[in-house]
Structure 1
Amino acid sequence: MLNIKGWSAAVGANQSKIIDLLVGNAVALGAVVGAVLLLVADPIVLRMLGGLLAVAGVIGTGWLLRREVARHGELLTMHTGPRLVLLVAIAGGYLARRPDQAVWVWTATGIAMAAVLAEPTIKALLAKTQQIAVNLPGVQPVPAPPYAPNRLVAGSLATITAGSALAIVGLPGWCYLGVATLELAAALILIGYAGRATKMTRQALTALPKALKRHQPAFVVYYGGLHGARYQLGMWLPYLERLGRPFVVITREAATVPTITALTTAPVIVPRTTSELGDLSTLVVPSMKAAFYVQGSRANLHFQKFRKLTHIWLNHGDSDKQANFSPRHATYDKVLVCGQQGVERYAAHGVEIPPDRLLKVGRPQVERIEVRDEPLPADAPRTVLYAPTWRGGRPTTDYSSLGLGERIVAALLDRGVTVIFRPHPLSYADPADAGLIRRIQQLLAGDQRSTGRHHVWGEQAERDWEIADCLNNADGLITDVSSVASDNLASGKPFAMVAMRASGEDFRAEFPMARVAYLIEKDLSTLDSALSDLLGTDPLAEQRHAYRRHCLGDQLGPHAADEFLRVAGELVTGVSRPAAKGKPKQDEKISEIPLERVLFPTEPDVAELVSQETDRLAEQQRRTG
């Protein structure tokens, strides 16, 4: 007999979905049986059993919907069958208590069912609405819904719960009718919004091309991700704005628009993937010279096909993670790295990028990090920043020490250290990791109450302060394989790294940054000695200061952004991008892009480029042959 894990392997679904399927089927079956017993059974015992099954169905449906909310899923049309059956079951239970209220009860039931049955229509209408452009003169933004559509499903569950309670108490049926009418009114409001928003979406799509040409953007920042825009774009937009040229941000996910508009006043545009109006080809206007990328989504390839633009890879941090030496980076026209370490990192991992495409520009984000190379007095109190990274997108990129964080922080507290705790923002997307974060925060809160030490965590460490503020207020750092380690180099302060993927010299060989860090093994066997070096004599100080220039380039402090601004300024004007052999830019050979190194060689846009180049070469051979 297969268990949950066995079923998961057999059908190719994760265990969570298998659990949802089994519980959903049980809820549906229980709701049907409960409804039948409440409607047709005579003995009171059977009716009571039907009522219990209906209540269990309400609880089960709520549990399933809550799990979907935790996954950030869309609730519209989910579990509509069980909800409809439960409404019938409530009617049966209500009439068993108040047979004189049949008209009120069945009217209320019909109205509540109509609201549930309207969900597919609402979902279809909402699919035709989309934010097209914000902050772009000449294009009216599409307003947000009056409330989150998921709340309509929550309202349906509230109606079912309220109906159950009213039936048990035996209140008049018009009370139930009032609750059901509110649910239907909410559905009608959403239908009305969807109709207006659909019209505004079409109008925005029509106005978009002319508005873009009038705006004359010199470059575009392309964002293909769904999560992480706040820190990934947030670290680069201030410097791109300092170029003093008009630009736009194109994001593939409309859900990211509120986050991005909070970061910049530049126009934010969402391409329309289901219509020729507003697709990517209509968003590339003649004034655009370059496109910057800060996140490694495979969707970037959709925009890289526009070869008249210079495509520039920025990344959103500098570290020894795989994301910093992906073979896909070789498909960009220019790859901007901090220093020589970035160049060597690609070579060490077999990623071949011509030297003229690799540009060393320093790390602009360290301009606010204060440099302090002098050691603290031995008896001075210490503050340490603990900044673990997230789990990564797959097991091979999981460098996170968050699971050890409580023990690491406890060891710091035992030494009388003040702690700044700043977890990676994407760690909150995993419920287990979010729980670990809360436990560390509770540990710090408890220590603060008992000792009076002013630890920093939560809103202050993660939103009020930027990473530069955290580093400036700390005397040392504990982190993982992370860009925080690179940024800390600018400060000159000591740091430790947690070796989660290897051990000892193997870890240092794989991750060069660890050669100037105090190593904490994942079994914590070296935690005590690493903390003694970090908080004490700091024997790696000289090596760390020498490595700083190798990693971050020549400029620190207020001038850290100068080289980036110079190089990026040239790229967005097109000055540093002459056409190959005097030919127009669009005639460059696609073979100059090492497509064989792309991780997703079957991507349609890349395949199209290869096909075009093959056809061109065949035609050239035919003419000369």
Structure 2
Amino acid sequence: MVNRIRTLMRAARQELSDFAFKNLVNVGAVAGVCLLLAATGTPLRLVGMAAALASLATIVWRRRRAVIRPTGGNLLGYFVSVRTLLLLAVGAGYALRRPGEPGWVWTATATAMVVTLSEPMLKTMLGTTRQVVDGLPGVPAVPRPRFHPGWLTTASFATITLGGVLAVAAAPAWLYLAAVLVTAVLAGLAVESAVRANVVGRKAERGVRPALERLQPAFAVYYAAKTGARYQLGMWLPYLERLDRPFIVITREPETVPTIRELTSAPILIPKPTAVSVSLDAMVVPSMKAAFYVQGSPANQTFQRYRQLTHVWLNHGDSDKQANFHPRHATYDKLFVSGQLGIERYANHGIDVPADRFAIVGRPQVENIETLDHPLPARAPRTVLYAPTWKGGRPSTNYSSLPLGEQIVRAVLERGSSVIFRPHPVSYSDAEDARRIRTIQQLLEDDRAASVTAGNVRNHVWGQQAEKEWDVAACFNASDALITDVSSIASDYLASGKPFAMVAVLGGGETFREEFPLARVAYVIEKDLSTLPSVLDQLHGDDTLASARLAYRTYCLGEQVGPHAADQFLRIAGAIVDGRQSSPSGQSGIGPAATI
């Protein structure tokens, strides 16, 4: 209780600080309006009403997106002091307009003020209550709030506005009280949810370790990123489930739980953010032998400190991007790579990893890709898959050709070919890239409509079908050629045996091929698109790199493609999760490099 009081006092001090400093300009503007009105002889009650409306308009404007859509931001607890003063102003104005109803007026005002002043406490309660588990037998899930708490603040703004309007109209004060009681009911529901979540959360924390000891998971999948779970975890969870051992997924971000739950039925655990180490200690049980990582967050190191586990780096793709040869990978006990190329990337970039830490496991994700190792008829129309990657986290890793995408797609259409368009899912989070995606999608829609009119239908595929209904393998199988960037899409397309092109967004010419070895068996589209016509000639014609590409496939993807592509991974990963640290005999993953 003492700690709770101290927390509330800190919140109050912070609120006063915000009011005194962050809103200084707003307060000055409101004061100026009031002085101007007073100087012109405006009645005092109208001056006060103008001040209240000006203050309300100011704070709503500053947080307009959060007010209108409170689920998109943490609005709860903002402008408590300002809203309290506004409620007093509304109450005083109402009392002047309805002097015979002070009981209704001040009951409504006091109730509204109590609800507003309770927000910091509610915010603290919600902030200390986090989801602990999802789907772990014997441990209850922390109940979610009945509604997003931000709606409580929106209701407060609505109450102030409605109260001001009712006061000006001299409406019966019981109407104002009724509106306030609606907000009070919402506040009561929110507090009840927070209390219930606290009780269940504490019970869940105590029950995690006993439940895990009963489950006896063989390994954990650790995920520390806020975004990307759908494609990063989604790439590996089906194969980890095929190990047929119980396992858990640990995610550092509660927001990722709904997405992960769509991908697996395995229990999902979330360490407490204020006590991560203590939470993780409870999650590592004696039956657990290994941990797998698909994303390179520095926060992975928090879990890597459990040295009784074998920590396996999977990554979420195989390409020549920097993410595939980061120095941090040397801290893992095992690095799973698709082929010999994956090993040599590290040495070629000056990263020293002992040879016995590598394991060549092939590329399980290519098992559903149909192989076509014979050429298509020359000059015939093709179905070309355009799959640009995302722009990366910084300029030095921006390999995306999406800014050139419209020109590339138009050039393919001019060849009479059909297009499958599958952009990287993360590209939608960037407003400019999302606009470019919509432009290309509209281009394909217009072209398909024109082809129907001309009687020569081109069945382009984009949007929901290309990105949701079809997986990557389905897009590959429906295409005759690929245009992409420096991306694992290019590596995986090798399994098909079909021709592909890479856009040299960073660098160009021989420098590009030196830095990104996969480009040696790809047709390279320079950033200025000067080589685009000749590349399209190859994709639609002779395909002079066919034999080199087939030789490179084993070097990049390992010995197996097609239906048995996952066998090597399942053997090696199965040995590790069973507690046998080294790979099976003859499967150490170290072999001679292919010559390309």
Give the root-mean-square deviation of aligned CA atoms. 3.3
Aligned to 1:583: none
Amino acid at match of 1:353: V
Change in Cα spacing, 1:544 to 1:78, as seen in structure 2 (3 Å) is farther
Shift, 1:32, TM fit:
6.0
Structure 1 residue 181 displacement after superposition: 2.9
Q: Residues of 2 paired with 1:437 and 1:28: CA distance? A: 44
Say yes or no: does 1:190 pair with 2:195. Answer: no
Selected match of 2:556 from 543, 551, 555:
551
Q: Deviation per CA, 1:58-99, whole angstroms, max 9, x where unpaired?
A: 6523436379979x6533223445555565676688789888
- Structure 1 residue 551, shift from structure 2 partner: 0.5
Q: Would the alpha carbon gap of residues 361 and 199 (structure 1) be closer, same or farther in structure 2, given more than 3 Å must change?
A: same
Count of aligned pairs: 557
1:38–1:50: 8 Å Cα contact kept in structure 2?
Answer: no
Contact 1:138 1:207 in 2 (8 A): yes
Measure the CA separation in 1 of the matches of 2:439 and 2:165. 37
Superposed displacement of residue 179, structure 1: 3.6
Matches within 5 A, 1:402-417: 402-417=402-417
What is the DSSP-based 3-state SS (H/G/I as helix, E as strand, rest coil) of the residue aligned with 2:524?
A: strand
1:191-210 equivalences under 5 Å are 191-210=191-210
Q: Which moved more, 1:264-273 or 1:29-38?
A: 29-38
Are 2:42 and 1:43 equivalent residues in the alignment? yes
Q: State the partner residue of 1:447.
A: 447
- Counterpart of 1:465 in structure 2 is 470
1:511 equivalent in structure 2: 516
Inter-CA distance 190–356: structure 2 relative to 1 (3 Å threshold): same
Normalized against structure 2, the TM-score is what?
0.84
Q: One-letter code of the match for 2:560?
A: Q
Q: How big is the shift at 1:203?
A: 0.6
How far apart, CA to CA, are the structure 1 residues paired with 2:104 and 2:35?
20
Amino acid at match of 1:454: N
Correspondence 1:281 to 2:281: yes
- Alignment-mate amino acid for residue 215 of structure 1: L
Aligned pair in 2 of structure 1 residues 476, 195: CA closer, same or farther (>3 Å)? same
Q: Give the structure 1 partner of residue 180 of structure 2.
A: 180
SS of the aligned residue for 1:362 comes to: coil
Q: Deviation per CA, 1:523-573: give whole Å up to 9, x if none.
A: 333333323322333222222222111100110110000000000011111
Per-residue deviation, residues 387-438 of structure 1 (Å, max 9, x unmatched): 2222222222222222222332333333333222222222222233333323
Relative to structure 1, the CA distance from residue 59 to residue 154 in structure 2 (aligned partners, 3 Å threshold; closer, same or farther) is closer
Q: Aligned-pair distance for 1:194?
A: 0.7
* Structure 1 residue 496 corresponds to structure 2 residue 497: no
CA distance in 2, matches of 1:410, 1:85: 60
Unpaired stretches in structure 1, ≥5 consecutive residues = 1-20, 579-625
Distance 1:250 1:490 in 2: 32
Q: Quote the offset at 1:315 in angstroms.
A: 0.5
Task: Indicate the larger mover: 440-449 or 306-315.
Answer: 440-449
Q: d(CA) in 2 for partners of 1:260 and 1:245?
A: 18
Verify the 8 A CA contact 2:314 2:337 in the aligned structure 1: yes
Go from structure 1 to structure 2 and tell me whether the alpha carbon gap of 1:25 and 1:316 turns closer, same or farther (over 3 Å shift). farther
Measured at CA, do residues 167 and 504 of structure 1 come closer, stay the same or move farther in structure 2, by a change above 3 Å?
Answer: farther
**1:147 Cα offset (Å):** 1.7
Check conservation: 1:386, 1:419, Cα contact below 8 A. yes
In 1, are the aligned partners of 2:87 and 2:112 still within 8 Å (CA)? Answer: yes
> Alpha-carbon deviation of 1:575?
1.7
**1:157 CA displacement:** 4.2
Whether the 8 Å CA contact 2:49–2:93 is kept in 1: the answer is: no
Query: Are residues 1:147 and 2:152 paired?
Result: no
Aligned with residue 529 of structure 2, among 519, 524, 532: 524
- Decide whether aligned partners of structure 1 residues 461 and 126 sit closer, same or farther in structure 2, where only a CA change above 3 A counts: same
Counterparts of residues 311-350 of structure 1 (less than 5 Å) = 311-350=311-350
How far residue 264 of structure 1 moved from its aligned partner, in angstroms, is: 1.0
After TM superposition, give the deviation of residue 197 of structure 1 in Å.
0.7
Deviation per residue, 1:255-286 (Å, 9 max, x gap)? 21111121111111112243489511121111
Which residue identity does 1:484 align to in structure 2?
Answer: I
CA, structure 1 residues 48+66, in 2 after alignment: closer, same or farther (shift >3 Å)? closer
Q: What secondary structure is seen at the aligned counterpart in 1 of 2:428?
A: helix
Seq. identity, %: 55
Structure 1 residue 129, shift from structure 2 partner: 1.4
Gaps of 5+ in 2: 1-19, 453-457, 584-596
CA 1:32–1:186 in 2, change beyond 3 Å: closer, same or farther? farther
TM-score (norm 1): 0.80
3-state SS of 2:291 partner: strand
Q: Secondary structure at 2:263's aligned position in 1?
A: coil
State the Cα distance separating 1:292 from its structure 2 match: 0.7
Q: CA deviation at 1:143?
A: 1.7
Are the structure 2 counterparts of residues 358 and 95 from structure 1 closer, same or farther at C-alpha, using a change threshold of 3 Å?
A: same
For 1:295-374, what aligned pairs fall within 5 Å after superposition? 295-374=295-374
For the pair 1:571 / 2:570, whether they are aligned, the reply is: no
- The 1:492/1:75 distance shift into structure 2, 3 A limit, reads farther
Q: Distance in 1 between matches of 2:291 and 2:412?
A: 44
Q: Aligned partners of 2:273, 2:289: CA distance in 1, in Å? A: 23
